[in-house]
Amino acid sequence: MSVTKSQRKFRFWDNRLLFQNLERVLQFKDQIENVAITNNLSIEELPQSIVPTATFYEMLLCYEAMYDKLLEEELITHGYPKSTTTHH
C-alpha cells in the first residue's frame, strides 16, 4: 500500500508549532552571525554558552533545512513561508 503526500501531512497545529520554532531558529541564527561579523570572528571563535556556540549554530542550520524540506515535500501544508536564507 502506497502512502500519498496528503496522508503524510501534519495537522495544522503541528505546522504552526514548526513555523514558530523556525522563526526562533532564524532569529538565533541571525544574532549569532551578527555578533560574529561585528567582532570579526568566525562562529567557532565566539564565546561559549551551555551549548557550544558552533554546535548550537549547526543545530539552527539543520532545523532550517529540515523545515524547508518538509515544506518542499508537502509534508506540512502551505501557508507558512519558506525560509529565505542561503544554507552554508
Grid look-up 524540506 returns 69
Number of structural domains the chain divides into: 1
pLDDT in tens, 2-30: 555 556 666 665 677 778 888 888 999 99
Non-local (6+) Cβ contacts of 25 within 8 A are: 60, 63, 64, 67
- pLDDT at residue 69, as a whole number: 86
DSSP string, 16-80: HHHHHHHHHHHHHHHHHHHHHHHTT--GGGSPP-SS-HHHHHHHHHHHHHHHHHHHHTTSS-SSS
pLDDT in tens, 27-49: 999 999 999 999 999 999 998 87
- pLDDT at residue 88, as a whole number: 47
Grid look-up 505546522 returns 15
- pLDDT at residue 21, as a whole number: 84
pTM given for the model:
0.64
Instruction: Domain of residue 58: give its range.
Output: 10-72
Q: Is residue 26 part of a domain?
A: yes
Q: Is residue 88 part of a domain?
A: no
